[in-house]
Structure 1
Amino acid sequence: MTRRPLAALAAAATALTLAACGSGDDSADTAEATGGASSDSAFPVTIENKFGTTEIPAEPERIITIGFNDQDFVLALGGTLVGERELIGDYDATQRPWAQDLLPDDAVPTVGSDELNLEEIAALQPDLIVGVYSFIDQSVYDQLSEIAPTLAQTDEYADGATPWQEQTLLTGRALGVEDEAQELVDEVEGRFEQAVTDNPDFAGQDIAVDLTGLGGSGHYLLGQDDLRTQFFSDLGFTVPEASTELSAERLDLLDADVLVMNGYDQAALDADTLVAPLGAVTEDRTVLIGQYSSPVSAALGFGSPLSLPYLLDQLVDPLAAAADGDPATTVEQPTS
């Protein structure tokens, strides 16, 4: 399989942490309400994707997810997983609380991590392969399509930047539960709308989402081409157009109205003598998501209709404190 670029590697690394807190139960209730409602009348299904056409003749009963977050979308919509891609990083993704009530009783076999194992995929005899957030190329797609119908991202978005709403609806179509997928999108969007209403200060403020510890200066500014920034855009913040690795001379780009540091806790920030003096830090306009093994970092990486409600519970209050324009306001950092 083709090696992914730095942004994709970072996405995979962060997509590995999830967390415990109140919204997990709500998400499970939502999934139970929307999942498992597919009908034979919905099939056959034809979906155009970046590499060709996905033709699904009947309701899928054996689904393999090859993306770094696709399992959440399938579970949320009542699909049955028989295999999934192993996530890269320190966090045990099987512990993600918002999916606990939806996970199979037995461990789901994995079919590779950075590299997909096509033989293992074929051996599991899937009738649908889902890889909207998989970073596969045409060659791999063609090989997978010989095994089973394969759902890939469309060509409307950059690799890895399909909005969660679109990913939910694509997955819903593939599973024959398009109406239920729309209901799930509407419900989660309602949570965002309430957060926006409660926090008008978010609108139009520039936000820098920093992925730390990767090459060069160790800082990577995420843009609209990375799914993790969509969480902040949906709250009204303004995000840079494109992701970019920052040299030590351009760390000033982190000094936005609000700075979010993914991969840093307070100790790591204090030790970074180049970032610690920035105004966003000294004026307490910084939200620390934590190390990549933290559940909040993983929730941001998954960016799914299961993880996003949890993330709203964790980050809206810290973001509000960081965005209020008052340096005296203490930002209470998120806790798992």
Structure 2
Amino acid sequence: MRFPRWASVLTSTLALTSVASLTACSSDDATHSASAGPDGAFPATVEHKFGSTTIESRPDRVVTVGFNDLDFALALGEAPVATRAFTGYDYKQRPWAQGYATDIPEVGGMELDVEKVAEADPDVLLGTYAVFTQDDYDTLSGLAPTVGDVRGPADGRAASWEDQLDAIGKALGKQGEAEKVRDQVRAAFGAATAANPQFAGRTAAVAMVLDNGFYILEPEDPRAAFFTTLGFTAPAETGTVSPERLDLLDQRTLIVLGATKEKLASDPVFSQLPVVKEDRTVYLGEFGTDATAALGFASPLSQPYLLDAATPALSAATDDDPATVVPAVG
């Protein structure tokens, strides 16, 4: 099973980004795809991009075929019998999932192996963030009831991690657990914002380092949305930043994905940007490291971990005191 060309970018950046991207913003007033029905009731019907899927009874053999669905299942106390690998990172050693099942058979990475999926003998397939095509979905739904990419609220916003959590909670008959997990993650974000009121309304560019420049993430991207949940706002211009337009990075705060401070120090233009010279920049590290991977997972397990890891650096970078040294993240 082959996925769109953009998926190759996901491998190199540990990204979870596409038109169907999952924003990390809270959506208290959102209409979730799996909000109806009593807790644990079956049959359970979950709506998604390809229509709806009915799970007749509580599934015993769960296979996660989305890019980050594994973390959601684990957060709800479900150890899948097989999973899609998260490529470009040693995901089995991710620090935010310590204590959870890690030695889970894989059914592919960037490309799913349909034969391995079938061999896992699934009762349900969870692909709430899989970027399936209709053909992909049709193939998998011929093996077992398949929950495809979740849709966003009716107001047109992109689907959030909370929509994912609700859909998976209903599919597993664990809506009550899903609500508790959601509340815990919201509380973690709330504590970080309460301790750092200076985040509110502050413009922050979340920029990936590319071979030929940078890319400022759109606010609906789950990695950028992690920061908007903390109160930051996205810059007016996003997208590809050529070497000639590095001034677009010069916002009140800059968050860099994919490179260390030491690596970028040799760039004479980048190093002279006021946001860099005044130490208002946070470096999350190279791709393939824990912080960037946690941001890419955008899950109920990874986000609290990243809050603990990154908030001290964000606090230091936003106190507007050039004498404050921004600590390393990690």
Normalised-by-shorter TM-score class = 0.7 to 0.9
Q: Which residue of 1 aligns with 2:4?
A: 4
Q: Which residue of 2 aligns with 1:30?
A: none
Q: Is the 8 A contact 1:222 1:240 kept in 2?
A: no
Q: Secondary structure at the match of 1:102?
A: coil
Q: Secondary structure at the match of 2:205?
A: strand
Kindly state the Cα deviation for residue 162 of structure 1 after the two structures are TM-superposed. Answer: 3.1
Q: Secondary structure at the match of 1:133?
A: coil
More helix per residue: 1
1:9/1:255 Cα in 2 relative to 1: closer, same or farther (>3 Å)?
farther
1:152/1:273 Cα in 2 relative to 1: closer, same or farther (>3 Å)?
farther
Q: Is the 8 A contact 2:150 2:167 kept in 1?
A: no
State yes or no: 1:332 paired with 2:327: yes
Kindly state the Cα deviation for residue 262 of structure 1 after the two structures are TM-superposed. Answer: 0.7
Kindly state the Cα deviation for residue 242 of structure 1 after the two structures are TM-superposed. Answer: 8.2
Q: Which residue of 2 aligns with 1:45?
A: 44
Q: Which residue of 2 aligns with 1:137?
A: 133
1:110/1:191 Cα in 2 relative to 1: closer, same or farther (>3 Å)?
same
Q: Is the 8 A contact 2:40 2:172 kept in 1?
A: no
**Structure 1 CA distance for aligned equivalents of residues 131 and 272 of structure 2:** 37
Comparing 265-274 and 47-56, the one that deviates more:
265-274
1:40/1:189 Cα in 2 relative to 1: closer, same or farther (>3 Å)?
closer
Paired residues, number: 305
1:320/1:84 Cα in 2 relative to 1: closer, same or farther (>3 Å)?
same
TM-score by length of 2: 0.86
**Structure 1 CA distance for aligned equivalents of residues 57 and 258 of structure 2:** 42
Q: Which residue of 2 aligns with 1:231?
A: 226
**Structure 1 CA distance for aligned equivalents of residues 177 and 238 of structure 2:** 33
> Aligned-residue CA RMSD in angstroms?
2.2
Kindly state the Cα deviation for residue 239 of structure 1 after the two structures are TM-superposed. Answer: 2.0
Q: Which amino acid aligns with 2:92?
A: T
Query: For each residue in 1:125-154, what CA deviation from the matched residue of structure 2 results, as whole angstroms up to 9, or x when unmatched?
Result: 111111112111111011111111111223
Q: Secondary structure at the match of 1:328?
A: coil
Q: Secondary structure at the match of 1:68?
A: coil
State yes or no: 1:276 paired with 2:275: no
Q: Secondary structure at the match of 2:81?
A: strand
Q: Secondary structure at the match of 2:265?
A: helix
Q: Secondary structure at the match of 1:87?
A: coil
Q: Which runs of 5+ in 1 are unaligned?
A: 17-38
Kindly state the Cα deviation for residue 47 of structure 1 after the two structures are TM-superposed. Answer: 1.0
Q: Which residue of 2 aligns with 1:245?
A: 240
Q: Which amino acid aligns with 1:45?
A: A
Q: Which runs of 5+ in 2 are unaligned?
A: 16-37
State yes or no: 1:258 paired with 2:253: yes
Out of 146, 156, 162, the position equivalent to 2:159 is: 162
Q: Which residue of 1 aligns with 2:83?
A: 84
Counterparts of residues 1-336 of structure 1 (less than 5 Å): 1-6=1-6, 8-15=7-14, 42-89=41-88, 91-103=89-101, 107-156=103-152, 162-214=159-211, 217-240=212-235, 244-335=239-330
**Structure 2 CA distance for aligned equivalents of residues 154 and 293 of structure 1:** 26
Q: Is the 8 A contact 1:13 1:87 kept in 2?
A: no
Q: Which amino acid aligns with 1:227?
A: P
Q: Which amino acid aligns with 2:81?
A: V
Q: Which amino acid aligns with 1:56?
A: I
TM-score by length of 1: 0.85
1:320/1:190 Cα in 2 relative to 1: closer, same or farther (>3 Å)?
same
Q: Is the 8 A contact 1:15 1:68 kept in 2?
A: no
